[in-house]
């Protein structure tokens, strides 16, 4: 358990995603963002949940390396307060097929057509690295959160119109749940809808409270 007499840890989000940043901001959290500079690639025959957690950890470790936590312990020891780095990644699957970022309107239309009337599973990995002030302690924790959505029976015109409006070309599964993507769904399953947006927020807040970061206490 975190010692409340110590300084509040610095919180770093290992992502440049504005959607993940907005979720933390709405919770009243003070944080900075760092680009992980990490190549996201799923390995052949890798299970979706394991891939999501591995990618989340990879982002965190990439930021930690850039900050000197791994390659230069002296640099880490100069940190007066603790640092927490948070990383998250998501793998979407239709049956046993991983849904990638479409990259084009044509591919997005194809993906959404395949998803019509089907359940899509989202495996979201959360990885948290805690580095104590002065480099005295390192703790790492990883979690997997699942969320499922069922698409409505979509018409071709609906799909084409949606892709034109929301432009989900850089989104796995070809939709933006934080945008018009919710209009495509018929049902949902999961404990935290933020997981669908790419960050298991309830789980993260629980971890942060253990490390002495509680937005309610600081407001």
Q: What does each of the 219 residues of the chain score in pLDDT, given as a tens digit?
A: 444 445 678 999 999 988 899 999 999 999 999 999 888 888 888 999 999 999 999 999 999 999 887 534 454 445 567 899 999 999 999 998 999 889 999 999 999 999 999 999 999 999 999 988 766 688 999 999 999 999 999 999 999 999 999 999 988 889 988 889 999 999 999 999 999 999 999 999 999 999 889 888 754
Domain that residue 50 falls in? 10-218
Instruction: Note whether residue 107 is domain-resident.
Output: yes
Instruction: Note whether residue 2 is domain-resident.
Output: no
CATH number at residue 47: 3.90.950.10
Catalytic residue among 89, 170, 192, 210: 89
Per-residue confidence (pLDDT) for residue 42, from 0 to 100: 86
Give the Cα separation of 114 and 77 in Å (integer).
52
Residue 157 CB: number of other CB atoms within 10 A? 8
Instruction: Note whether residue 101 is domain-resident.
Output: yes
Per-residue confidence (pLDDT) for residue 54, from 0 to 100: 96
What's the number of domains the chain is made of? 1
Active site residue 89: yes
Instruction: Note whether residue 4 is domain-resident.
Output: no
List Cα–Cα distances, 136 to 69, 74, 77, 133, in angstroms. Answer: 11, 11, 8, 6
Instruction: Note whether residue 1 is domain-resident.
Output: no
């Amino acid at each position: 358990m975190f010692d409340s007499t110590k300084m509040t840890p610095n919180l770093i989000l290992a992502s440049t995603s504005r959607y993940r940043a907005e979720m933390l901001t709405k919770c009243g959290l003070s944080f900075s963002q760092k680009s992980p500079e990490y190549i996201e690639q799923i390995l052949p025959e890798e299970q979706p949940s394991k891939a999501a957690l591995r990618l989340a950890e990879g982002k965190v470790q990439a930021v930690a390396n850039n900050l000197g936590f791994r390659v230069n312990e002296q640099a880490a020891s100069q940190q007066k307060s603790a640092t927490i780095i948070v990383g998250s990644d998501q793998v979407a699957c239709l049956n046993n097929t991983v849904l990638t970022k479409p990259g084009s309107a044509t591919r997005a239309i194809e993906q959404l057509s395949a998803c019509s009337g089907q359940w899509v599973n989202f495996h979201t990995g959360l990885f948290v690295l805690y580095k104590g002030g002065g480099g005295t302690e390192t703790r790492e924790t990883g979690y997997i959160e699942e969320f499922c959505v069922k698409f409505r029976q979509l018409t071709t015109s609906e799909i084409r119109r949606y892709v034109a409006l929301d432009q989900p070309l850089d989104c796995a599964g070809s939709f933006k749940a934080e945008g018009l993507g919710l209009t495509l769904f018929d049902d949902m399953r999961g404990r935290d809808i933020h997981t669908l947006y790419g960050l298991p927020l309830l789980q993260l807040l629980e971890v942060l409270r253990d490390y002495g970061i509680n937005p309610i206490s600081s407001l």
